[in-house]
């Protein structure tokens, strides 16, 4: 099943995103050897700080088995900022109806582990492709430019989802080559992938259904994993370490999350008061004032 996680619902699905960043670390860092930064077992880059949308695939137990990241091409994205070499020095395409997709990956390890064959991998891959194309299509997007390696390119072709063209040329990025491919978000393409995989059902799960699944999974797991009993001791021992750098964006995100998560007026007032204090201390940037002109 597929769920879209973006800035609007990420507070509800922090655990899902964390698992996704770990999957990306295993796939792009360990397996493919891309030159990505991995901190604490998670692969997170500058574009993850730009409020992208993630299309995330889950198995029936609620484990993340696939993911891809989408950004608008009108703003900062990978092809305009870090993958320009793929475009032979040409400026990137920029269009309101063109999204960029990056970090497409599938957890082959998990999908194959219970004696499953590549069939499970293929199904998860197709479900992710269908989810991405349908999400883009219903957002009014006509085309997707996707940064992929030749392996994913072959997977796309094999799934009756071949790119209709490429922009720029294939270039060695670190240990592996990368390329920018174009996919249309037409019903014909979606139907082709659906037919190939034999998927006729709605691939999207509701936020509530996914949340319930995750809660059930965590409950089941908490029986097996013993939690550290004394948190205060852990925090005290950590106090010797140098303090981690906290970004302004993190503080803003935190404050926004607090305000949005407030359930009562008091909670909301408290959250706003915190922002006020942080603004006064120069820790949080001043809030934008929207002024309507006529």
Residues within the interface to another protein (CB under 8 A): 6-8, 50-53, 70-76, 80, 87, 90-99, 135, 138-143, 164-165, 167, 182, 184, 259-260, 262, 268, 287-294
- Closer residue to another protein, CB minimum distance, 66 or 72: 72
For residue 44, give both structure tokens.
Answer: 């997170």
Q: Closest approach of Cβ 177 to another protein, in Å?
A: 21
Helix, strand, or coil (residue 167):
strand
Q: Closest approach of Cβ 148 to another protein, in Å?
A: 17
- Could you tell me the maximum CA-CA distance found in the chain, to the nearest angstrom? 66
Q: Closest approach of Cβ 119 to another protein, in Å?
A: 31
287 φ, ψ (degrees, to nearest 5): -75, 145
- Closer residue to another protein, CB minimum distance, 8 or 248: 8
- Closer residue to another protein, CB minimum distance, 52 or 57: 52
For residue 163, give both structure tokens.
Answer: 């790119």
For residue 136, give both structure tokens.
Answer: 């883009």
- Closer residue to another protein, CB minimum distance, 37 or 267: 267
Q: Closest approach of Cβ 275 to another protein, in Å?
A: 11
- Closer residue to another protein, CB minimum distance, 30 or 267: 267
Give the whole-angstrom CA distance, residue 221 versus residue 259. 31
Q: Closest approach of Cβ 207 to another protein, in Å?
A: 10
CA-to-CA separations, 77 to 53, 84, 86, 102, 103, in angstroms, rounded: 12, 10, 13, 9, 12
In sign, the C-alpha dihedral spanning 80, 86, 89, 94 is: negative
Tell me if 193 sits within 8 A of 92, measured CB to CB: no
């Amino acid at each position: 099943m597929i769920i879209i996680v973006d800035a609007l619902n990420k507070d509800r699905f922090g655990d899902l995103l964390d698992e996704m960043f770990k999957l990306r670390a295993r796939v792009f860092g360990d397996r493919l050897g891309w030159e990505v930064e991995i901190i604490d077992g998670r692969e997170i880059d500058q574009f993850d700080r730009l409020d992208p949308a993630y299309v995330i695939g889950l198995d029936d137990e609620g484990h993340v088995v696939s993911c891809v990241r989408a950004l608008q091409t009108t703003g900062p994205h990978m092809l305009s900022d870090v993958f320009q070499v793929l475009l032979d020095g040409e400026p990137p395409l920029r269009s309101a109806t063109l999204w960029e997709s990056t970090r497409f990956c599938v957890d082959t390890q998990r999908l194959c582990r219970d004696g499953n064959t590549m069939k499970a991998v293929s199904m998860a891959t197709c479900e992710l492709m269908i989810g991405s194309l349908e999400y883009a299509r219903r957002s009014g997007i006509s085309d997707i430019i996707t940064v992929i390696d030749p392996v994913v390119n072959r997977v796309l072709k094999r799934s009756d989802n071949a790119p209709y063209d490429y922009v720029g040329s294939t270039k060695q990025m670190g240990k592996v080559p990368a390329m920018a491919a174009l996919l249309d978000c037409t019903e014909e393409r979606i139907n082709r992938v659906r037919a190939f995989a034999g998927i006729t059902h709605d691939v999207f799960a509701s936020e509530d259904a996914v949340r319930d699944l995750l809660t059930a999974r965590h409950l089941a797991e908490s029986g097996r994993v013993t939690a550290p009993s004394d948190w205060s001791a852990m925090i005290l021992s950590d106090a010797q370490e140098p303090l981690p750098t906290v970004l302004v964006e993190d503080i803003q995100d935190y404050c926004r999350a607090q305000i949005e998560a407030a359930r009562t007026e008091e909670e909301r007032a408290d959250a706003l008061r915190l922002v006020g204090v942080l603004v006064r201390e120069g820790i949080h940037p001043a809030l934008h004032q929207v002024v309507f002109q006529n």
